[in-house]
Amino acid sequence: MDKGNHMKTTLDINDELFRQMRDIAQHDKVTLKSLVEQGLRLVIKSREAAPARKRAEPVVFKGRLGFTPEFEGKDWRAFKDEARRR
C-alpha cells in the first residue's frame, strides 16, 4: 500500500450506495477509506487500459441532387419495395 502523501476530502455519497459500501466494508473487514481507494483505482486502471476511440469520419457521397431516374416521382413505397427485393 502506498504510504505517500494523503489528502483529506469530503464526499457526498448516495444513501443506498453508502449502505452497500458499508456492508461490503464490514463483510471484508476493511475501512471505508480503503474501499473507496480500491474503487477509484479500478476506475483509473480501466480507463488507462481502454483503447482510445477513434472518431468516425463522416460519410460523404458526391453526386447530383435528387433520385436516380428509376425513382423520379415515386413515393416511399417504391423505395421500400426495392429495398426488400435486394
Q: Give me 42's grid cell.
A: 479500478
The residue-averaged pLDDT of 74-83 equals 88
Please report, in angstroms and rounded to a whole number, the separation of the first and last CA atoms in the chain: 62
Please answer whether residues 35 and 27 qualify as being in contact, where contact means their C-beta atoms are separated by less than 8 angstroms: no
**Residue-level pLDDT at 67:** 79
CA distances from 85 to 68, 77, 79 (A): 17, 12, 10
pTM (whole model) above 0.75: no
**27 has pLDDT over 90:** yes
Element (H, E) at 43: helix 32-49
CA–CA distance, 32 with 22 (Å, rounded to integer): 7
What is the overall mean pLDDT for the chain? 87
